[in-house]
């Protein structure tokens, strides 16, 4: 390892990699590179990578400015395969920095040198005793080695997850701070972890996604290797998106598209940061549950009041609780229960067909008698069904005992419920339809009969009643600009409406009525690519954000599943005795719309039919819009 810019002042960030490599038992040689000193922290220093001894596997650059470019040239000359860069001033620093980063990456490709960063805090391999990082979390004495690996776009948060996990006795394997991903990205690292013998679960801390297809393929590979991939992704709020842009220079995609992407490639998304720290044992070695009904958790407790907070929260996630053989919502063993009875209860639940997971809620004994408190949980048979614990008091030792045993344990009812919700929402990667690219696509979505009528007589052959609209192809939001008159019943009303509109032409459209209004949309998301959307339509579509997204294309069957998840489309599913709408025809429209993703070169930026009138038989689009890429 060569450390470019290694400081001789042990208190500086740039002295950390050398200190940490030594502290955590790195067995190889460490070579400080510092043009101003002959020795750094007791090791002989060299003026440049060019001057350093042979056999360097990895150069870590911490020096500012042109030293980065120089180190790269030297790596090229000396045949160093990998260079990690802590230095910033690249894509994190505006357009000029981004251009500098592009030049650096291009040159690295020419030279055959792989880059991690810039703006990366480095890499850590705990089982392998390599702590090549500036992250202060490695100040801790002996972070436990384990089977969970972390890949993070934020160096700080890599440290956060390690710090919090280690404090609870949770072990980690590989930790990679991606930085700006000029070359090596999240996808490639996940690919490596998918075949890494030390890794059982892969955690992602993401501010953006820069390599969606690669990451998707890697997540699929990890799934095939039986390794769950979990993501905590910022940018759920507009504020978070704005910050991610300013912080990473990344483009903004929509969070709903990101959700669709994760689902598509089998990545488990968690909502809370603490869940990212706590969830690994819940998933390790398990497969997606793939339930077709609401999930059921059996909650066993010796403290009814303590169970209530987590049960209430599970309910908010649509998770049911069951007590097999009883009407009670939970299994309250009362404080008098013996450890034997407790363990037998857990075993019976773990082999019961009536629940999908088992949660033990433990009260104050978890704080004062940890061994006793967790004994029945440790004794329970390990099955494919998840077993987890929630401790109501401050209970560090109990948490550590379960961490050591590889059993999921939660500090808060909220993260516990979030983890169960994420587990139950976990899906195997979708088997992507292998459809050929096409030159053009017919959407086959029926449109309401319409004609352009021209003044002064505005003759047309559309039967009354009609809608009269401003004739301005490509104009969105006609309603808002006062350009739509509905329910025109005769020629007289038509002439009056035409007079109120600008231009010599109007659009005359047959009035269509049905059971519900839907929106069907397509968007080529800048981060994750083509997605298709179906939702409740009309003016309130935007207000309620009641829609379901999937990666495009989708089959008609997949589209029907999407429609089933749109709350407002309950009205076409026979809600409150109302007549049913033609969900199949709507699904065909959604599937057709999604095939825009197959057009060679993907020229469409976005497309939308809104409203689509859903009738008892068939659907009719009343307005539509297509925006081509520039």
Give least dist CB 554 to a second copy, A. Answer: 24
606 CB-near residues (< 8 Å, 6+ apart) = 521, 522, 523, 524, 625, 626, 627
Nearer to a second copy among residue 25 and residue 575 (C-beta): 575
Complete DSSP assignment for 151-205: EES-HHHHHHHHHHHHHTT--EEEEEE-TT-SSS-HHHHHHHHHT-TT-SEEEEE
Nearer to a second copy among residue 390 and residue 458 (C-beta): 390
Q: Determine the Cα–Cα distance for residues 570 and 546; give it in Å rounded to an integer.
A: 11
Nearer to a second copy among residue 168 and residue 223 (C-beta): 168
Nearer to a second copy among residue 2 and residue 355 (C-beta): 355
Q: Determine the Cα–Cα distance for residues 431 and 433; give it in Å rounded to an integer.
A: 6
Give least dist CB 413 to a second copy, A. Answer: 5
Give least dist CB 224 to a second copy, A. Answer: 31
Give least dist CB 540 to a second copy, A. Answer: 6
Report the alpha-carbon angle 201-205-208, nearest 5: 130
Q: Determine the Cα–Cα distance for residues 41 and 23; give it in Å rounded to an integer.
A: 13
Nearer to a second copy among residue 13 and residue 48 (C-beta): 13
137 CB-near residues (< 8 Å, 6+ apart) = 143, 158, 159, 160, 162, 163, 166
Give least dist CB 138 to a second copy, A. Answer: 9
- What is the strand order of the sheet 466-470 is part of? 450-454, 505-510, 466-470, 484-488
Give least dist CB 91 to a second copy, A. Answer: 14
Give least dist CB 63 to a second copy, A. Answer: 16
End-to-end CA distance of the chain: 46
Q: Determine the Cα–Cα distance for residues 65 and 68; give it in Å rounded to an integer.
A: 6
Nearer to a second copy among residue 107 and residue 478 (C-beta): 478
Give least dist CB 484 to a second copy, A. Answer: 11
Nearer to a second copy among residue 44 and residue 394 (C-beta): 394
Q: Determine the Cα–Cα distance for residues 199 and 204; give it in Å rounded to an integer.
A: 13
Nearer to a second copy among residue 75 and residue 395 (C-beta): 395
Give least dist CB 168 to a second copy, A. Answer: 8
Q: Look at residue 274 and give its three-state secondary structure.
A: helix
Nearer to a second copy among residue 140 and residue 344 (C-beta): 140
Q: Three-state secondary structure along 53-120?
A: CCCCCEEEECCCCCHHHHHHHHHHHHCCCEEEECCCCCCCCHHHHHHHHHHHHHHHHHHCCEEECCCC
């Amino acid at each position: 390892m060569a450390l470019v810019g290694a400081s001789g002042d042990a208190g500086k960030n740039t002295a950390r990699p050398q200190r940490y490599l030594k502290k955590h038992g790195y067995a190889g040689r460490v070579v400080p590179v510092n043009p101003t000193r002959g020795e750094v922290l007791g090791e002989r220093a060299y003026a440049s990578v060019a001057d350093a001894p042979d056999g360097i596997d990895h150069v870590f650059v911490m020096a500012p400015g042109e030293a980065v470019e120089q180190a790269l040239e030297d790596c090229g000359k000396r045949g160093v395969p990998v260079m990690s860069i802590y230095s910033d001033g690249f894509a994190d620093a505006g357009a000029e920095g981004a251009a500098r980063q592009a030049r650096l990456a291009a040159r690295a490709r020419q030279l055959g040198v792989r880059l991690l960063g810039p703006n990366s805090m480095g890499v850590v391999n705990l089982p392998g005793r390599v702590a090549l990082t500036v992250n202060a979390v490695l100040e801790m004495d002996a972070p436990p080695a384990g089977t969970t690996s972390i890949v993070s776009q934020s160096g700080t948060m890599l440290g956060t997850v390690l710090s919090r996990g280690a404090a609870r006795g949770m072990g980690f394997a590989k930790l990679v701070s991606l930085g700006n991903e000029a070359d090596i990205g999240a996808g490639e690292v996940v690919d490596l972890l998918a075949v890494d013998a030390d890794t059982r679960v892969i955690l992602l801390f993401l501010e953006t996604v820069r390599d969606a297809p690669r990451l998707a393929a890697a997540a699929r590979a990890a799934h095939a290797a039986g390794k769950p991939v979990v993501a905590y992704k910022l940018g759920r709020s507009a504020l978070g998106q704005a910050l991610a842009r300013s912080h990473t220079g990344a483009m903004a995609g929509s969070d709903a598209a990101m959700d669709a992407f994760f689902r598509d490639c089998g990545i488990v998304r968690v909502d809370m940061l603490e869940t990212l720290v706590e969830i690994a044992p819940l998933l390790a070695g398990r497969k997606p549950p793939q339930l077709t009904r609401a999930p059921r958790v059996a909650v066993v407790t010796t403290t009814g009041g303590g169970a209530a907070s987590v049960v209430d929260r599970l309910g908010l996630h649509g998770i049911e609780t069951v007590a097999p053989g009883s009407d009670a919502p939970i299994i309250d063993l009362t404080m008098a229960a013996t450890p034997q009875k407790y363990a037998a209860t857990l075993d019976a639940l773990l082999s019961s067909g009536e629940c999908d997971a088992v949660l033990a809620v433990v009260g104050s004994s978890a704080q004062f008698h940890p061994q006793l408190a967790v004994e029945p949980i440790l004794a329970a048979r390990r099955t494919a069904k998840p077993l987890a614990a929630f401790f109501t008091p401050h209970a560090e030792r109990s948490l550590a005992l379960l961490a050591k045993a590889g059993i999921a344990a939660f500090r808060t009812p909220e993260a516990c419920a979030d983890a169960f919700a994420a587990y139950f929402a976990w899906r195997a990667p979708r088997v992507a339809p292998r459809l050929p690219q096409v030159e053009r696509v017919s959407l086959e979505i029926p449109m309401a009969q319409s004609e352009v009528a021209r003044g002064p007589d505005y003759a047309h052959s559309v039967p009354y009643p009609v809608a009269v609209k401003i004739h301005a192809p490509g104009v969105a939001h006609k309603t808002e600009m006062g350009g739509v008159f509905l329910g025109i019943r005769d020629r007289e009303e038509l002439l009056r409406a035409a007079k109120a509109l600008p231009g010599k032409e109007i659009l005359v459209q047959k009035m269509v009525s049905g059971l519900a209004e839907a929106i069907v949309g397509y968007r080529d998301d800048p981060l994750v690519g083509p997605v298709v959307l179906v939702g409740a339509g009309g003016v309130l579509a935007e207000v309620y954000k009641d829609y379901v997204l999937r990666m495009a294309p989708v089959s008609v069957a997949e589209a029907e599943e999407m429609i089933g998840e749109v709350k407002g489309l309950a009205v076409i599913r026979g809600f409150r005795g109302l007549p049913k709408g033609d969900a199949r025809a709507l699904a065909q429209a959604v599937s057709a719309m999604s095939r825009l993703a197959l057009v060679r070169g993907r020229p469409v930026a976005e497309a939308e039919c809104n409203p689509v009138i859903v009738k008892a038989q068939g659907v009719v689009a009343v307005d539509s819009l297509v925006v081509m890429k520039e």
